[in-house]
């Protein structure tokens, strides 16, 4: 964990994306998760198998006014529109405010105004591409690249002569997440799909957070069929394990993957199929590309840099110098 450069802050937030929240809480501050009885979606606490640290706390969403915080960190438009007005007191709404935006615009790709624009909130984007596409108005903006952790000792083996795809609810989410691309490619190349509700598309179902890295390590390559989304944590986790990445040359992935070095990206599906077949037939090439992908991940997406970036932004926004 990063060495604190400032006083320890009390950050009110919500559990939206479990893995991201776990990585976020590696920053040297205390995080308070707004929860409701039964942990319904949108107000989940420290659930699941992730090894939450002692700096992660639960606080009743209907009693937030009875607690003291140093800043509020929104992670979803739902909480921005609903909880901010119905559950936060005026005093809490006046606290230094941040909004971490996990996705590119879901409306018009260039002309969608961010919900927190013009509010005085500090918007944090998880990729430069997302920051470019959103209309942030005059809001202060930071970009914090992802940082990930994988279980100790998990490394690429690649013995399975097939690729792996990791997408939750792929069939339901359709073209934007590349359901049609996945179907087209798996008619030509052996692919395995894992993720929530993947059984409906002939996949293996959901693999637990702590088991996913080891599961991915067995496959020859990682295929990302997604047309338009943020840079997925599963992609970065696969890189950290040592898998070469094959994907569509869209959004932030084009700044991460170097063709013929750590993977291959293109907008031509037939070209991607050719490269996948090559990796299946040339395991040594796959291993070499995968090791380069791991080095990219270690340099750009290491957890120490991520925690330090969040420490700096939270401190800059919420104050608290010693």
Note whether 144 and 99 are within 8 A (CB).
Answer: no
CA-based radius of gyration for the chain: 20
Among left, alpha and beta (phi > 0; psi -120 to 50; other), residue 204 is alpha
d(CA 29, CA 38): 26
DSSP 81: I
35, HSE (Cβ side, Cα atoms, 13 Å): 14
Strands (E), the chain: 10-13, 30-35, 56-60, 71-74, 97-101, 122-125, 141-143, 160-166, 191-194, 219-224, 245-248, 263-266
* Strands of the sheet with 56-60, listed across from one edge: 56-60, 30-35, 10-13, 71-74, 97-101, 122-125, 141-143
Containing 59, the helix (H) or strand (E) segment is strand 56-60
Residue 5 has pLDDT above 90, yes or no: no
Q: For 141-150, what is the mean pLDDT?
A: 97
State the Cα–Cα distance between residues 243 and 294, nearest whole angstrom: 7
Round to whole Å and give the CA distance between 223 and 182: 9
**71: which 2 tokens?**
């800043």
Kindly report the three-state secondary structure assignment for every residue of 119-166.
CCCEEEECCHHHHHHCECCCCCEEECCCCECCCCCCCCCCCEEEEEEE
CA atoms within 13 A on the CB side of 265: 19
The residues that bridge with 71 in the sheet, in sequence order, are: 11
Q: Per DSSP, what are the bridge partners of residue 98?
A: 73, 122
Asked whether the beta carbons of 64 and 113 are under 8 A apart, the reply is no
pLDDT in tens, 54-70: 999 999 999 999 999 99
Q: What whole-number distance in Å separates Cα of residue 267 and Cα of residue 269?
A: 6
User: Could you tell me which residue, 48 or 191, shows the higher pLDDT?
Assistant: 191
Give the H/E segment covering residue 220: strand 219-224
Average pLDDT, the chain: 96
What is the SS3 assignment for 73? strand
The pTM for the full model equals 0.94
Q: What is the pLDDT of residue 6?
A: 65
Measured CA to CA in angstroms, residue 232 lies from 52, 104, 222, 288 at distances of 21, 12, 12, 22
Please report the pLDDT score of residue 61 as a whole number. 97
Give the model's pLDDT for residue 3.
Answer: 46
- C-beta separation of 111 from 136 below 8 A: no
Segment 10-18 shows an average pLDDT of 97
Band of residue 111 on the pLDDT scale cut at 50, 70, 90: very high
Per cent of the chain over pLDDT 70 is: 97
pLDDT in tens, 199-238: 999 999 999 999 999 999 999 999 999 999 999 999 999 9
164 bridge partner residues: 192, 222
Neighbours of 232 (CB within 10 A): 21
Q: Please enumerate in sequence order all residues whose Cβ is within 8 A of that of 287, keeping only pairs 6 or more positions apart, or say none.
A: 156, 158, 242
């Amino acid at each position: 964990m990063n060495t604190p450069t400032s006083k320890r802050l009390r950050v009110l937030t919500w559990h939206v994306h479990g893995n991201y929240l776990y990585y976020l809480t590696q920053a040297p501050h205390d995080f308070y998760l707004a929860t409701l009885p039964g942990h319904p979606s949108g107000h989940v606490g420290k659930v699941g198998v992730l090894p939450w640290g002692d700096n992660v706390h639960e606080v009743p969403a209907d009693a937030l006014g009875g607690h003291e915080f140093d800043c509020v960190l929104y992670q979803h438009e739902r909480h921005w529109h609903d909880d901010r007005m119905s559950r936060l007191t005026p005093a809490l709404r006046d606290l230094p405010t941040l909004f971490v935006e996990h996705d590119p615009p879901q409306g018009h790709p260039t002309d969608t105004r961010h919900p927190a624009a013009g509010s005085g909130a500090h918007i944090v984007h998880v990729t430069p591409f997302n920051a470019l596409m959103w209309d942030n108005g005059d809001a202060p903006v930071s970009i914090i690249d992802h940082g990930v952790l994988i279980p100790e000792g998990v490394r690429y083996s690649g013995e399975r002569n097939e690729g792996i795809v990791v997408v939750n609810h792929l069939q339901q989410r359709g073209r934007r997440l590349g359901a049609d691309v996945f179907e087209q490619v798996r008619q030509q190349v052996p692919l395995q799909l894992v993720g929530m509700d993947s059984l409906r598309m002939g996949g293996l179902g959901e693999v637990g957070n702590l088991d996913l890295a080891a599961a991915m390590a067995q496959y020859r390559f990682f295929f990302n069929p997604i047309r338009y989304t943020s840079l997925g944590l599963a992609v970065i986790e696969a890189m950290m394990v040592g898998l070469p990445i094959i994907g569509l040359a869209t959004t932030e992935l084009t700044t991460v993957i170097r063709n013929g070095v750590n993977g291959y990206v293109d907008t031509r599906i037939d070209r991607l199929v050719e490269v996948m077949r090559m990796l299946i037939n040339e395991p040594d090439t796959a291993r070499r590309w995968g090791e380069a992908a791991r080095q990219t991940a270690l340099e750009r997406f290491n957890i120490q840099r991520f925690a330090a970036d969040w420490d700096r932004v939270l401190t800059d926004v919420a104050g608290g110098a010693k």
